Structure 1
Amino acid sequence: MPKQESRDLRAVLLQTAIELLAEPQAVAVPSLRSIARACEVAPSAVYWHFPSEADLRSAVLDAEYSDMVGSIERALDDRPSDADALEVAGQAYVAWGLSHPGAYQLLFESADPLPETRAEYGPRLQNRIVELATAVDADDPFSAALLLWTVWHGLVSLRLHKKEWNWGMTPAQANARLINALKTT
């Protein structure tokens, strides 16, 4: 291939890759075969329980979403009486996300929809956070809850992907500063 055509193809390849990134990308669940290898069973054993990768993906999302919501609810239910509920909820969210990086990415950094479990757990958690967000904005607690979730998500996502950065504070300190700043505005 002549050098000029090679440069043109490089530009086309680069531009095409950029265009493809204009759409959100799915985060992959491990393949059925890789799970079978890790469990030291035949692939047919996995297919017996999960006929397709979509079935496996749905089961993984259900389990992980339920675990995340349960973790946040337990933290809120078990918090000391003098602890700020929003700070506790945010700390539990961030801690779960950082300790379950692949699951967190699958749940919240993928273009794929959440599973049916969200019909049970999602509104329950959302309602609880909205209720707590009245401390931030009594007139519009839903918007305040979305703002909180956006910042908690950013805190988890950036820490998962930018481990080399000097954050200057722990995730718990960042969450406490966030809650304090929102309550004083």
Structure 2
Amino acid sequence: MLDELADDEALSLRAVARAVSIAATSVYLHFPDRDALVLAVLQRCHEQLVEAGDAAAAAASDPAAALRARILAQARWAREHPGLYKVLRESGVHRRLGMPFKKVLVERTVAAVQACMDAGLAPADDPTTVTIDLRTAVNGMLAQRINEPDLPWPPAEEQIDRFLVKLVGLHPA
């Protein structure tokens, strides 16, 4: 439902109960309120993003390819679940409650950037700062593609490759 709505504020527990054919009050047996339900969905979505990135990176031949595969997996997930991706990045629940589980994806990306630096594939720098720059660019690009689909976007892979060259310092593929 969140993927279709693309807005956590538009979700109601009554609608969820109707969708799963239970009484509205039964939802409260599992979640104390709507925000808790939304937060649980977002945590699961974030776990899917991490799993997709880990699987893609594991199949790569070197640290640079692993970092690229991790970012491309995130882009694929966003393309397949645009409403959920929008809620992950722009939700009211996120602004009020935060999502500490997002730390895992940041840590994985920092480790991937550090591996590129350690292998001499990217210049030495602060991997956390580089990761934040990269994540800002990628998340911004994905959000813009979702929110402004009519723009003449270049292929996502090409744009991500430019980010990897300009922000991480990887050599052009």
- Same fold, judged at TM 0.5 (above): yes
- 2:129 equivalent to 1:143: yes
Do the aligned partners of residues 140 and 116 (structure 1) sit closer, same or farther apart at CA in structure 2, a change above 3 Å counting? Answer: closer
Residue 49 (structure 1) aligns with = 30
The corresponding residue for 1:30 is: 11
Deviations 1:120-152 (A, max 9, x none): x24542442442463444122221111110110
Deviation at 1:76, TM superposition (A): 0.6
User: For the structure 1 residues 127 and 140, does the alpha-carbon distance in structure 2 shift closer, same or farther, using more than 3 Å as the test?
Assistant: closer
The root-mean-square deviation of aligned C-alpha atoms, in Å, is 2.7
Q: Which runs of 5+ in 2 are unaligned?
A: 1-6
Structure-to-structure mapping, 1:145-164, within 5 angstroms: 145-164=131-150
- C-alpha distance in structure 1 between counterparts of 2:135 and 2:105, whole Å: 13
Residue 84 of structure 1 aligns with which residue?
A: 65
State how far apart, in whole Å, the 1-side matches of 2:42 and 2:53 are: 17
Pairs within 5 Å for 1:80-159: 80-81=61-62, 84-110=65-91, 111-118=95-102, 121-122=104-105, 124-132=107-115, 134=117, 135-159=121-145
Classify 1:138/1:27 alpha carbon distance in 2 versus 1 (closer, same or farther; 3 Å): farther
Query: Shift of residue 27 of structure 1?
Result: 4.3
Which structure has the bigger radius of gyration? 1
Give percent identity, aligned residues only.
27
- Give the total of aligned pairs: 158
CA gap of 1:179–1:124, structure 2 versus 1, over 3 A, is closer
Q: Output the TM-score relative to the length of structure 2.
A: 0.76
State the alpha-carbon separation in 2 of the partners of residues 136 and 82 from structure 1. 10
SS of aligned partner of 1:91: helix
Q: Find the aligned partners of 1:89 and 1:145 in 2 and give their Cα distance.
A: 12
What stretches of structure 1 of length at least 5 have no aligned partner?
1-25
Aligned CA distance change for structure 1 residues 149 and 83 (closer, same or farther; 3 Å): closer
Give the TM-score normalised by structure 1: 0.72
Cross-structure match for 2:3: none
Distance 2:81 2:129 in 1: 27
1:61 pairs, out of 42, 56, 61, with: 42
Distance 1:114 1:63, change over 3 A: farther
